[in-house]
Amino acid sequence: MRFYEFAIKPIKPPTPQQAKINTLKQQKERVTTALKTERDTQKRQKAVTAIQQNNQVLAKLNNY
């Protein structure tokens, strides 16, 4: 290969339309991640509550 074949080609800035589309895609990714995180948090909290309730029931049964 020749040296000129490795030349770095200049990167053109995106057009305003392309920039807007890229921004919207990034927003979508952030919202999707935030939604997944919130759902996981709620599932975890629900599981913790269920475990606490079951532990209370077991404690009452062991006292009898």
> What region does 12 belong to: left with phi over 0, alpha with psi -120 to 50, or beta?
beta
Say how far apart CA 49 and CA 51 lie, in whole Å: 5
pTM above 0.75, yes or no: no
The answer to the question of residue 3 being in a domain is no
Say how far apart CA 10 and CA 21 lie, in whole Å: 22
The domain tally of the chain equals 1
Average pLDDT over residues 23-37: 98
Kindly state the percentage of the chain with pLDDT values over 90: 75
Q: How far is CA 18 from CA 27, 48, 53, 64, in A?
A: 14, 45, 53, 70
The pair of structure tokens assigned to 30 is 């952030």
Answer whether residue 46 shows pLDDT above 70: yes
Which pLDDT band holds residue 64 (cuts at 50, 70, 90)? confident
The answer to the question of residue 29 being in a domain is yes
The answer to the question of residue 14 being in a domain is no
